[in-house]
């Protein structure tokens, strides 16, 4: 497992977001600095306060600055550019859980929220940890986008086969925290 690193954790809207809280705790316990960026959908599953408490850092959710969302870097005009400062900060970006939505947006080059803008801006390694229904994971379009991202140098951990939140069994389950820690 990685130790003493700066990890930017991107959390997206999936029932598996609760596992990202456990991952945050494990990363911090091992001496890593963790900053969390949540999509608006992720906050339906786990609160930002959970990640703030576990990481010891503010949680970033908005593309543009707000009073509860401090940022470090400014443009020559004084406009703060959080997607730049957060893209430069980490040693690694881990998107966990990674939904079909975030994978497709990044593959299409869309930067319409803070997390996708950070991913498209960074020059640091990015790892996706997929979590979704097996039908979504096996969809030919998503598989094409995943293959494009892999060719572009993005890494993927999982998904695993097993029981899914939708009541089905199949491939699409987020891998366990221990496996993520081994892989990174």
Which sequence positions are flagged as catalytic?
166
Half-sphere exposure of residue 56: CA atoms within 13 angstroms, side-chain side = 10
Q: Count Cβ atoms below 10 Å from residue 138 Cβ, excluding itself.
A: 13
Q: By the 8 A CB rule, do 30 and 3 touch?
A: yes
In 62-158, beta strands by DSSP E: 92-98, 126-130, 155-156
Residues 6+ apart with CB under 8 A from 63: 82, 83, 113, 114, 117
Q: At residue 126, what are phi and psi to the nearest 5 degrees?
A: -120, 130
Q: Exposure string (b/e) for 170-183, b if CB count within 10 Å is 16 or more?
A: bbbbbbebeebeeb
Count Cβ atoms within 10 A of the Cβ of residue 153 and give its class: 0-12 exposed, 13-18 middle, 19 or more buried: exposed
């Amino acid at each position: 497992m990685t130790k003493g690193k700066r990890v930017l954790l991107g959390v997206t809207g999936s029932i598996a977001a609760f596992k990202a809280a456990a991952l945050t705790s494990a990363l911090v316990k091992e001496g890593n600095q963790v900053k969390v960026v949540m999509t608006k959908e992720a906050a339906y599953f786990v609160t930002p306060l959970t990640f703030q408490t576990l990481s010891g850092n503010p949680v970033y959710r908005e593309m543009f600055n707000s009073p509860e969302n401090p940022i470090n870097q400014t443009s020559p005009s004084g406009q703060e550019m959080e997607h730049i400062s957060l893209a430069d900060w980490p040693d690694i970006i881990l998107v966990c859980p990674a939904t079909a939505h975030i994978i497709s947006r990044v593959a299409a080059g869309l930067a319409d929220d803070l997390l996708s803008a950070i991913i498209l801006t960074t020059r640091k390694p990015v790892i996706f940890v997929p979590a979704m229904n097996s039908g979504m994971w096996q969809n030919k379009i998503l598989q094409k986008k995943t293959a494009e991202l892999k060719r572009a140098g993005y890494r993927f951990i999982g998904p695993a086969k097993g029981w899914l939140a939708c009541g089905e069994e199949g491939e699409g389950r987020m891998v366990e925290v221990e496996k993520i820690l081994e892989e990174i």
